[in-house]
């Protein structure tokens, strides 16, 4: 059965492209997956529905009042504070 050179060439090109992408990823310095909320470009926008819901849960557990008027950045910081206070959502290693 003859070999389809178009498929073989395509597979080689894919492998080369994947290797190039992997090499570029190794060149990236630092980890930008966790960013300080003060540096968020959308940090001044109102908190998201998910943030508000989670803050409600944490606030109830902590016996605290929920502030409905937080920004995304403020809500993120408050979530961290309440997680420390309640122990909920913390990575326990």
Q: For 37-77, what is each residue's pLDDT tens digit?
A: 888 888 889 999 999 999 999 999 999 999 999 999 999 99
Q: How many CA atoms lie within 13 A of 16 on its CB side?
A: 6
Three-state DSSP class for 46? strand
DSSP state of 48: P
The CA angle 65-67-69, to the nearest 5 degrees, is 170
Full-prediction pTM beyond 0.85?
no
Give percent of the chain above pLDDT 70: 63
């Amino acid at each position: 059965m003859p070999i389809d050179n178009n498929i073989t060439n395509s597979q080689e090109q894919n492998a080369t492209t994947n290797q190039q992408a992997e090499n570029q990823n190794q060149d990236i310095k630092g980890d930008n997956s966790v960013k300080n909320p003060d540096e968020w470009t959308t940090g001044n926008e109102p908190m998201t529905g998910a943030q508000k819901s989670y803050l409600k849960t944490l606030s109830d557990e902590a016996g605290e009042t929920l502030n409905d008027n937080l920004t995304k950045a403020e809500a993120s910081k408050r979530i961290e504070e309440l997680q420390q206070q309640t122990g909920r959502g913390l990575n326990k290693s």
